[in-house]
Amino acid sequence: MRRSARLPAAFLAAALSVPAAAQQPAAPVVNDPTTAEFEKFRAVLEADNPAELFEAKGAELWKAKRGPKNASLERCDLGLGPGVVKGAYVRMPRYFADVGHVMDAERRIVHCMVTLQGFDAAELAKRPFSSDTRTPDPVALVTYVAGESRGMKIAVPQQHPKERETYEIGREIFFYRAGAYDFSCASCHGEDGKRIRTQQLPNFTKPEQAVRSVQGWPGYRMTGGVMHTLQWRMWDCFRQQRFPEPGYVSDTVTALLTYLSVNASGHVYNGPGIKR
């Protein structure tokens, strides 16, 4: 990783320099003050993106012989052939013939950890999300794999019938209103130009806005200062939707990510990023 050695110091410096930077109107022009401040903060941070620390850790984990089978992930097939990481992230979720269904990036990586390295799937699902004291291995691995698609066009395949079916089911999940508040994903993300408080809400049914469901993820989240993947994002959305808890790397999450990522296809992915 090109800058990983000096990153912590640079990151700290960037964080400390924010008040000064905030006085300069360098960031993109936005209407509400909270978003404007955040965008300035992000602009400062992105010069030394903290996500790169996790990419570096993921790259090490990818190559290391680990698990009960003492194997690396270098034979893991992310859809472009065993060991091909470059460009794989922007082409998932996709159909995998060896398992007979569609998998998203994190699900596929976990699948490889289980089949190639012998890790226990149930154990990995127990505490799958980052906290301030711990970043689970799949999070770092997904961040590494995602970084290897930086600057590439999102091109989630829809050739296989299972891929098209998964997209259609994902769309129904997106619009499925239930729970104590009658919310679906579309309650917040189905209209143009809406906000919750000051948070602007992309309309994920529109291709030009759907890219915002992929862009910046995996993301270093400033709320809490931890790295999160799209698995976490979907999980926390369902929490706020007042639903019960979705299973980690479950069919539901894969289908939803398929719907969002296909809608986002055609746009260039900027790599792991920073989120509010």
Partner 1 sequence: MTAPNGSMPRALAVALMLALPAHAADYLAEAAAMIKRDFKPRGIATMDRVVEDAVQAICNRSRDNPPKEIGQRLEQDQLAAVRWPADGKLLGDWRSGERIAQSGRGMTWSDSASAPGGGSCYNCHRIGPQETSFGTLGPSLHQFGKIRGYGPDVQKYAYGKIYNAKAYNLCSQMPRFGHVGALTEQQIKDLVALLMDPDSPVNK
Catalytically annotated residues: 237
At residue 100's C-alpha, the angle toward residues 99 and 103, to 5°, is 70
Q: For residues 157 and 176, which CB has a smaller minimum distance to partner 1 in the complex? A: 176
Can residue 193 be called a binding residue for partner 1 (CB under 8 A)?
Answer: yes
Q: Decide: 97 and 86 in contact? Cβ < 8 Å.
A: no
User: Among residues 14 and 185, whose Cβ is nearest to partner 1?
Assistant: 185
Q: Which residue has the tokens 């999980």?
A: 235
* CB of 150 or CB of 164, closer to partner 1: 164
Kindly write down the DSSP assignment for every residue of 181-207, as one continuous string: TTB-HHHHHSSTTEEETTEEE--TTSH
Residue 3 beta carbon to partner 1: minimum distance, rounded to whole angstroms: 36
* Closer Cβ to partner 1, 194 or 206, answer by number: 194
251 in contact with partner 1 (CB under 8 A): yes
Query: Stretches 96-104, 138-146, 194-202, 216-224: which one binds partner 1 (CB under 8 A)?
Result: 194-202
C-alpha–C-alpha distance, residues 6 and 38, integer Å: 24
Binding residues for partner 1, total number by CB under 8 A: 43
Applying CB under 8 A, does 197 fall inside the site for partner 1? yes
Query: Using an 8 Å Cβ cutoff, are 150 and 273 in contact?
Result: no
- Contact characters 161-190, partner 1, x per CB under 8 A: ----x--xxxxxx-xxxxxxxxxx--xx--
Strand pairing category for 268-269 and 152-153: antiparallel
Residues 17-46 that bind partner 1 (CB under 8 A): 34
| Region 95-154 residues binding partner 1, contact defined as CB under 8 A | none
CB of 191 to partner 1, least distance (A): 8
CA distances to 136, 196, 252 from 77, in Å: 21, 40, 22
Closest to partner 1 by CB, 25 vs 244, is 244
Beta-strand ranges (E) seen in 6-165 are: 94-96, 101-103, 152-153
Determine, following the binding rule CB under 8 A, whether residue 255 of this chain makes contact with partner 1.
yes
Quote the least distance from Cβ 231 to partner 1, whole Å: 13
User: Looking at beta carbons only, is 41 or 243 nearer to partner 1?
Assistant: 243
Q: For residues 62-93, b (16+ Cβ closer than 10 Å) or e, as one string?
A: beeebbeeebbbeebbbbeeeeebebbbbbbb
Binding mask 207-246 for partner 1 (x = CB under 8 A): -------------------------------xxx-xxxxx
3-class DSSP state of 68:
coil
Q: Per DSSP, which regions of 93-215 are E strands?
A: 94-96, 101-103, 152-153, 194-196, 199-201
Give the chain's length: 276
List residues binding partner 1 (CB under 8 A): 34, 165, 168-173, 175-184, 187-188, 191, 193-199, 201, 238-240, 242-247, 250-253, 255
